[in-house]
A and B are shown apart, each in its own frame.
Chain A
């Protein structure tokens, strides 16, 4: 089973700042098979990024994904108030599909 490790556990930033979240896989992911999700309190997660760098429909371009192999990142270029939430990465390159433990992005 591929283990995904997200860092940091909590990230404290201010609106307007740049956020970089990391996701490291225990094995190389085939075909950059990595997705990112955002979860706000009391809501279901929603898809942000798939294929490591492709934005899902309707996702603002301040969200970008990058990386390959075992190291991936999600960058939010200029934080807006609604971006403060928990973010999860997920790999689908190998069964069973797995999630990272999450990064909480909080307002400083």
Chain B
């Protein structure tokens, strides 16, 4: 079964840091671009960060640029999101996602809840 599983969510104070992890299984992880997509409570979907299969292309949304860093370890089928200088606006469910084909998302992880609050 093709799946991605996130870990590392939790409660953090404003200005703090958190690192999300994601492990892929059931597919050749090193052949696919991967992304992080978030959803604030009661809101829609926001594309946060993407990384190409070989690390040659990285994208960060303007809302997180300079604070978040996406990375991957193909040897361990792992994807990461280092989040620094967190604010309450970063409170959301963060989904790890495989970028399939030309750019659609399949599958999605179950999500990791990040809550930024004092």
Contact = CB atoms under 8 A, between A and B. Distances in A.
Nearest to B110: A44
B47 interface: yes
A56 B101 CA distance: 12
B47 A37 contact: no
Interface of A: 31, 33, 35, 37, 44-47, 50-51, 56, 88, 90, 92-93, 95-102
A89 to B, nearest CB: 10
A3 B6 CA distance: 28
Interface residues of B, number: 20
B106 A99 contact: no
A95 B50 CA distance: 11
Contacts of A96: 47, 59, 61
15 contacts: A33-B102, A35-B103, A37-B105, A47-B106, A47-B107, A50-B104, A51-B102, A88-B44, A90-B104, A92-B103, A96-B59, A98-B47, A99-B46, A99-B47, A102-B44
